[in-house]
Structure 1
């Protein structure tokens, strides 16, 4: 009996020493814990946000609750959540609500503007909100004035492309040709899904126009033509891993904001799937 006890005690001692050696081994740290940290770093290599239009059917509190569940921390602010005529007190309260959910409002828009007065109002709004990026859709005739205001306010202005139905700004190339000789604060909010729907190559265009892409509306689409509609990020015709590789190659400094226009009265599942897919791709490429 005594020999059995000694053998058992010896076995337990050897097991404990073995476990301690594994836990303190640098190779163990390299192969597991540090890999987990590295993967998390990879997932944050590109700032991921939500385009406010995705929440058109929800108030701010409901929208932030969804963002919190997905741990997405950047929001492009739409004026249905923060109206253009908001007071300083209302703007401060808005930002406080965002901060409580660990969310940052990084831009405003898209905002439509048909006149110089509307352009003036939009720039004043953007300044009062306290962000340095506006997404907008101006008239072509007003582009020099928009460029002037963008330089004056030191605010970057990204023109949004809306695909084949948009007779003014259907794709990134059309925008580029209109802005390339204007002030460098005038650029684009690159909607890669609508770009694909207009028969363009979103991956090549990302590389071509990288210096003037200030924001990205991230989405996938079901077809590379006008019949295509928004779908979950991993289910469409755009090669998202190739797009992400290009983002990393050009060292894109801005935010990629998911704009989910499918199931807009119940978008959480689709947005969450897209968030998970994007983060998985970032870890894998």
Structure 2
């Protein structure tokens, strides 16, 4: 059963936790200025192009005008080497091939996820080793059960951990990461490298106002899966920024006000076979952002 927007709006107006801390991004390597558009490091979550390979995702991100990319585990590497996959459990050769392709198209790999991280140091370390070898600044996950290991390795590797949100699951009350108050409480006493990957579209699918959610997580926004939807609720689908209900200008205003230094990943989950034009329109919106 869908949660009523009015109830959620009242809840967000008086958040359970509001964090006012130094930006988590300050602990991370800075994204080069030449990878920024409209003041933001913007590109794609490779899942936008999950009908294609990682090499094709790089090509399409560059074609749309993006400067950074976030990889996810399991995507086939290239049309010629579909047996190789992106991921922390793949041969080291995958890293060299990805880096070469990124250099060819002038892109910077910034994040890895959404990836499940095991609650044991040996297994979790493989994820961090992959991110380090790729020169990434953050890991995107929903593995809150592994938070102690994640915090330990975030400090050791100086790599941030961004907890991502999918939509709420009324049939599964144990799924809590959709709620920004839960994430804020989860990380409030943790190392500053731990924070949130703000998925604005999934917040809207949960009936939440994305700008209010960002305010709840002030100082802990590591990255964003920035989406605009044609309507609130679970049936909403991605549309170019500025044409939907997510108040993308307001989101950018809030990120700017918070001194956000992370990356924006466009995760355009619509028109799967031909979504480069929609992605390009999103990048164009950010390029024109002048506030």
For this structure pair, what is the TM-score category when the shorter chain's length is used for normalisation? 0.7 to 0.9
Of 118-127 and 215-224, the range deviating more from structure 2: 118-127
Aligned residue for 1:136? 141
Aligned residue for 1:268? 276
Pairwise mapping of residues 49-68 of structure 1 onto structure 2 (< 5 A)?
49-68=43-62
Deviations 1:204-246 (A, max 9, x none): 2223323111101111123332333332222211112222222
**Maintained 8 Å contact 2:51/2:273:** yes
For 2:90 and 2:60, the matched residues in 1 are separated by 24
Deviation at 1:43, TM superposition (A): 4.6
Aligned residue for 2:83? none
Pairwise mapping of residues 201-280 of structure 1 onto structure 2 (< 5 A)?
201-280=209-288
Aligned residue for 1:76? 70
Aligned residue for 1:119? 124
The CA RMSD measured in Å over matched residues stands at 2.2
TM (norm. structure 1) is 0.77
For structure 1, which runs of at least 5 residues remain unmatched after alignment?
Answer: 1-39
Aligned residue for 1:153? 157
Whether 1:109 aligns to 2:113 is yes
Paired positions, count: 242
For 2:87 and 2:222, the matched residues in 1 are separated by 23
For 2:231 and 2:186, the matched residues in 1 are separated by 27
For structure 2, which runs of at least 5 residues remain unmatched after alignment?
Answer: 1-33, 78-85
Of 268-277 and 220-229, the range deviating more from structure 2: 220-229
Whether 1:173 aligns to 2:143 is no
Alignment partner of 1:210: what SS? coil
For 1:103 and 1:218, the matched residues in 2 are separated by 18
Higher helix share: 1
**Maintained 8 Å contact 2:168/2:176:** no
Q: Which has the higher contact order (CA 8 A, sep 6+)?
A: 2
For 2:281 and 2:141, the matched residues in 1 are separated by 28
Of 186-195 and 57-66, the range deviating more from structure 2: 57-66
Structure 1: 4+ residue segments shifted above 3 A: 86-89
For 1:198 and 1:154, the matched residues in 2 are separated by 32
